[in-house]
Amino acid sequence: MLLSERQIQRKVKALARKISKDFSGQEVLLIGVLKGAFIFMADLAREMTTPVKMDFVRLASYGSETQSSGRMKFTKDLETPLRGKDVLIVEDIMDTGITLNHLYQCLKARKPRSLKVVTLLDKPGRRKVNFQANYVGFRIENHFVVGYGLDCAEEYRNLRAIYVLK
């Protein structure tokens, strides 16, 4: 086990406190990156003290390949207009930063009032673009991890802790 359920819960509560403080008095639109971020986003939203709305995006860059094509496309776009809103992208894990940077730039072009990123896990050793999240739960080594929304071939998402897949 890399991170226990208790460690994750404590970190989610701490992130929610910090985000709620930073967005005090404002409604925040949480944008979850599917599929992996849905559990983290639900727990984060329940811990936040500011009003929240939610929407989801899904991006594809791999197709049937094992390496990124470098091209991204939305396979599920937002239903909510962003202009003038305070937006927080909620991601499960950030490694190369390519997908998240692409998403950030696409959403920024939609003219939100503010745009920030929270990620539960960060693998800075894998970064290929200069992109940093505003809020980071845990920095981890370059492990393939599953659980708490993270999967391997659609398995293990329902685990309450995060494990290194061997």
Residue 53 CA neighbour count, 13 Å, CB half? 12
Cβ atoms of 90 and 40 closer than 8 Å: yes
Q: Which residues are catalytic?
A: 95
Q: Which residue has the tokens 């939203």?
A: 45
61 Cβ partners below 8 Å, 6+ apart? 68, 69, 70, 71, 72, 73, 98, 99
Residue type, 78: L
